[in-house]
Homo-oligomer: A and B are copies of this chain.
Amino acid sequence: MDVVHIDDPRLTAMGLLTEVYTGLTARMQPVFSAAGLSEIDFETLLRLGRSPHQRLRMSDLAAQTSLSTSGVTRVVDRLERDNLVARVACSSDRRASYATLTDAGRAKLEQVLPLHLNDIDECLTSLLSEEELEAFLAALRTIRDVVRPCATAGITRELAPEFGHSA
């Protein structure tokens, strides 16, 4: 018998979740890198694309992604250098600035998104039956509500009790 319970069911459960999540993201990497994007680049473009006017304040972007505000500064620096995103001054608050999708950014998103959706289908949604998937998502929601009570930042508070890809 070893130091730790080698088969503690809690460890197994958490390990399985970790394995699935990291395996899934690794599996989706190629689509992003083929487009010259990192995962966080894609997430940024996606969130901008889904937002009203395809723009978001830097700090709202930070709240929605798992990045710190300085992290967002540099992601947007890189995306701006590549002309996928532009900074626009906020007229009502001179401290703030919006990151907005450029035409090239929108095009890039539209190019990558279908491939990404296809990946998700292949490795996740198509693997379970209708009912299994629904139960799976319900379980995820239950857990999400505990570990991440307030996950909607920078979104008008009425819509989107669950706004996909909140990291």
State A110–B3 Cα separation when bound (angstroms): 8
Does A14 interact with chain B (Cβ within 8 Å)? yes
> Are B127 and A10 within 8 A (Cβ)?
no
Does A22 interact with chain B (Cβ within 8 Å)? yes
Give the residues in chain B near A162, CB-CB below 8 Å: 12, 15-16, 19
> Are A23 and B163 within 8 A (Cβ)?
no
Interface centre among A66, A147, A166 (most CB of B within 10 A): A147
Interface centre among A18, A109, A117, A148 (most CB of B within 10 A): A18
- Decide yes or no: A123 and B142 within 8 Å by CB, A16-B162, A117-B8, A165-B14 being known contacts: no
Does A26 interact with chain B (Cβ within 8 Å)? yes
State A106–B122 Cα separation when bound (angstroms): 41
- The 9 A-B pairs at the shortest CB distance, nearest first, are namely A15-B164, A23-B147, A15-B165, A23-B148, A11-B164, A21-B21, A12-B164, A10-B120, A136-B139
Residues of A within 8 A of B (CB): 2-4, 6, 8-24, 26-27, 46, 49-52, 54, 66, 101, 106, 109-110, 113, 117, 120-125, 127-128, 132-133, 135-137, 139-144, 146-148, 151, 160, 162-167
